[in-house]
Amino acid sequence: MTDLSGSAHVTDGVIVNFGPRSVVNLTVRTQMSSTLVKKILFVLGGPGAGKGTQCAKLVEKFGFVHLSAGDLLREERQSGSENGELIDRMIKEGQIVPVKITLTLLQQAMIKSGRDLFLIDGFPRNFDNLQGWQEEMAPEEFQVQGVLFFDCSESVMEERLLERGKTSGRTDDNAEAIRKRFRTYLDSTMPVIMHYEQQDKVFKVDATPGPDEVFEATSTLIGPLVADK
For the annotated binding site, the residues are 48-53, 74, 95-97, 122-125, 129, 164, 170, 181, 209
Specify whether the CB–CB gap between 214 and 207 falls below 8 A. Answer: yes
Helix, coil or strand: residue 11: strand
> Which residues sit in the known binding site for CMP?
129
Residue 61 · residue 219 · CB < 8 Å: yes
What whole-number distance in Å separates Cα of residue 196 and Cα of residue 198? 5
- What distance in Å separates the CA atoms of residue 145 and residue 41, rounded to the nearest whole number? 6
Alpha helices, H only, the chain: 51-62, 69-79, 82-92, 99-113, 127-136, 154-168, 175-184, 190-198, 211-227
What sign has the CA pseudo-torsion 3, 73, 112, 225?
Answer: negative
Binding residues for a ribonucleoside 5'-phosphate: 74, 95-97, 122-125, 170, 181
Bridge partner list, 16: none
Cβ(149)–Cβ(204) below 8 Å: yes
Measured CA to CA in angstroms, residue 197 lies from 60, 201, 202 at distances of: 27, 6, 5
User: Vertex 93, ends 89 and 95: CA angle to 5°?
Assistant: 95
